[in-house]
Structure 1
């Protein structure tokens, strides 16, 4: 067995399964451990040391001895953790702590390995392995580094991050899977931009998963746009302009470049404090710098900082970190990402077609049960998906769709059906003209007056009783966004009668 293949085989999933069962067990607090609990703690220490020995043996090339040592260490840890829940005085949190430490040890020492399914495969057939995202194993070697530091050492496994992990694994699980699939097809455009800036891929995935879920055309209610949700002014500062009517915040490569530049700028400002940097990305760097001042070593969770953050930012930072952590360690949390061949290719249209028509004729090619509309839009953000593109237009597609396009979308019934559906004529309903504004009943010659609201009054009853122009006019004069008034309130009224 080759050394790198063995490194990939060292999984913590069995360990995770045993330890995660302890989540429901109550901690014994500060109570003195019983003799039985002390014995379990001794086994825990031995197992942890055994794991470290296995790491050292594997790195020294002693594969057979390392495998034997590792198996014994994990068996001992599983047995000890299984007995903790039924042993008086045994604190399950100690086993969680060891689990967390071994994951971080794995990040530091198994640099050639990874438990992201499909990320350590060989490059797609026919590719040089040096274009796009470079060869996947090489990209993975630096995946955990952030300015020379291990990303896993910068993610504190505290309460908020644990809670976010649970959300991603339960209520947000579908969103996480969608984000992962979307990212795999965007990876060849986005990851090289992050790699050039010496930033970890897991961080890029975590931000994208939380911001847009990999939907390139996402726009928030506040106007943030694109896969990484840049506000317009911030995007301009990092070169995301409008070119020929196209907002480059929607360009995956350009937005990844701008995001990487922003993150590096803020990491320098906050002395590589990742939590503060993410908070600045969500809540504004000016606000974070005012809160932090010169103390860039302060924790985001310090009450002085945390209590002044918006709830959105309090939720945002741990959610990004948790998604990044799961990107690095999915199987350790009983999570398995789907295998996705995201290698990028292209087709040249043999006949005019829109992205929607291509989606219909491609169907579920390549096993994509949800169809290819989202992916085609993501990879071709400048194209109107409803507009037919002329013959000879080059369309970016996943490489695995190049053959299905030739087989399904050039000749035969599917492109005809797709075009027939796309050009269906809808009935034209004439627009209903807006009603003319109601005539004002105010004389226009008198002066405005005031009125003190009495108990039981409403704007409608006041207008009707005094013969004023309209409820809307009274509301506008008094700056009332809703018709809520209270006794004793003084209202300005137009001339009435």
Structure 2
């Protein structure tokens, strides 16, 4: 992100830099021990000023009004240091100006247009964020680690780029483009906890992104009718093999991003080892069953996934899955080639100590949507999978966030009008809007008591008048019988929050009635719930 505060202070620093040509060459002079100490002190001050400026840039990115003032103050510190360096014997101005040059380059890089195709029309370079050292400490991933070099796009040589993959790219760039962009944004918020697990196992980041795009769109709480769950969609039995599942607190670790990344990388390396590092067959095993992939590989050793005798051994879902994963991975590495501009996400990890009890729903409202199209609910849920969106989180709890979210929380959610509005909205009760008139305000006609005969004035006086019989008081209506609590059988993948929304239940009442403990409210498939506190 370009920072305008730097530009405003460019000329003073450049003017100081001009003094270098007038000053004697410092390094040509003999420097005493005392002067050396003073030079070291100036260098430390310049380093501290650079750190102060970097911190200010984060504040600006998080919409913190203190950021601009801090950046200006940091640049003033640099001016003072450079001014003193000119006068200080032994101080090398080139060293001091190197810091300033780095800041200028940082701003220029952030503002530059990166949509530049290479002149030869070859495949474009990946975003620098994709480049990183890879550890080849897992033997079965040796080929992948040796081939993987995002600068040369060697991942392209690990898979076949054929019409099936091209058709997948076409789908991701048309009807499924919103899902692709959503996946990228979700992945960037989770990258700090997921990518290291793949990196140290020597697997390509692009493949991690491709699998996540096809499996869950980067939604931590995704689940399927078949029982698969989490970002990487582990079935219960497979998850247990790799350490995923209920952890004894009511939470299923298949929903934990770091655990899912570690397990999926280990699982994929296991497939790669069995299938001669064939990426397509390994993906087919990931989706269509490892047993089937192993049998096909043994039956047709050395054959590509795309050979008809191999390809037709897999179900239609797997035939679709493999090219779609590769297609998403390919776009991840070649966004510019396909006119894709992925959003720039400020996702540096941070934590928030809650100043007061809250819910993810409430945080979503008070944080707003600064810097993102859809707000921060998905990022908060993904980073804190143990909490239901409507479950209350106690004050003092440490939750996961990003630097931007932390800045917006301090600004909008601790106190003030936005925080008050969010609390009002989150505690609004639909039933309070329903008007129920009291008996005193009712103006309709009401019949009271029995019927009294009327004496006919023309009747003979000898006919006695029959007195009205006393009117018995009406019997009180019987008290209505309490309705027995209804029950509901939990379906696959259902959560307490979804069930509460379906039947208009109060979540804490429903949880207490069924002995469920916060914050996980763990449910089992087939479990029968008492629908207490429900209006529907």
- Identify the TM-score tier after normalising by the shorter chain: 0.5 to 0.7
- C-alpha distance in 1 between matches for 2:369 and 2:143: 37
- Map 1:75-224 to 2 at 5 A: 102-103=122-123, 114-116=125-127, 119-120=128-129, 137-138=131-132, 146-149=144-147, 150-224=154-228
- 1:216–1:251 CA contact under 8 A, matched in 2: yes
- C-alpha distance in 1 between matches for 2:213 and 2:195: 14
Aligned to 1:422: 426
- 1:115 CA drift (Å): 3.1
- C-alpha distance in 2 between matches for 1:310 and 1:372: 38
- C-alpha distance in 2 between matches for 1:362 and 1:12: 31
- 1:295 CA drift (Å): 3.8
- Map 1:58-457 to 2 at 5 A: 71=119, 74=120, 102-103=122-123, 114-116=125-127, 119-120=128-129, 137-138=131-132, 146-149=144-147, 150-243=154-247, 244-293=249-298, 295-365=300-370, 367-427=371-431
- C-alpha distance in 2 between matches for 1:412 and 1:348: 18
- C-alpha distance in 1 between matches for 2:115 and 2:272: 31
- 1:141 CA drift (Å): 11
Q: 3-state SS of the aligned residue for 2:132?
A: helix
- 1:357–1:419 CA contact under 8 A, matched in 2: yes
- C-alpha distance in 2 between matches for 1:12 and 1:270: 38
- 1:431 CA drift (Å): 7.5
Aligned to 1:80: none
Q: 3-state SS of the aligned residue for 1:293?
A: helix
Cα gap change, 1:11 to 1:115, in 2 (>3 Å): farther
Cα gap change, 1:194 to 1:412, in 2 (>3 Å): same
Cα gap change, 1:280 to 1:137, in 2 (>3 Å): closer
Identify unmatched segments of 5+ residues in structure 2: 1-100, 103-107, 137-141, 148-153, 435-481, 487-536
- C-alpha distance in 2 between matches for 1:431 and 1:226: 38
Q: What is the TM-score with the length of structure 2 in the denominator?
A: 0.56
- C-alpha distance in 2 between matches for 1:410 and 1:259: 38
- C-alpha distance in 2 between matches for 1:364 and 1:12: 26
- 1:292 CA drift (Å): 2.2
Cα gap change, 1:315 to 1:183, in 2 (>3 Å): same
Cα gap change, 1:139 to 1:145, in 2 (>3 Å): farther
Q: 3-state SS of the aligned residue for 1:147?
A: helix
Aligned to 2:501: none
- 1:294 CA drift (Å): 5.4
CA offsets 1:278-337 (integer angstroms, 9 cap, x no match)? 000000000111222154421111111212211110010000001111111110112111
- 1:385 CA drift (Å): 1.9
- 1:416 CA drift (Å): 1.9
Cα gap change, 1:361 to 1:332, in 2 (>3 Å): same
Q: What is the TM-score with the length of structure 1 in the denominator?
A: 0.60
- 1:273–1:296 CA contact under 8 A, matched in 2: no
- 1:240 CA drift (Å): 0.4
- C-alpha distance in 2 between matches for 1:222 and 1:162: 29
- 1:145–1:200 CA contact under 8 A, matched in 2: no
Q: 3-state SS of the aligned residue for 2:259?
A: helix
CA offsets 1:349-374 (integer angstroms, 9 cap, x no match)? 11111111111100113x22211111
- 1:148 CA drift (Å): 1.6
- 1:220 CA drift (Å): 1.0
Number of positions where the alignment pairs a residue of Structure 1 with one of Structure 2: 320
- 1:254 CA drift (Å): 0.2
Q: 3-state SS of the aligned residue for 2:272?
A: helix
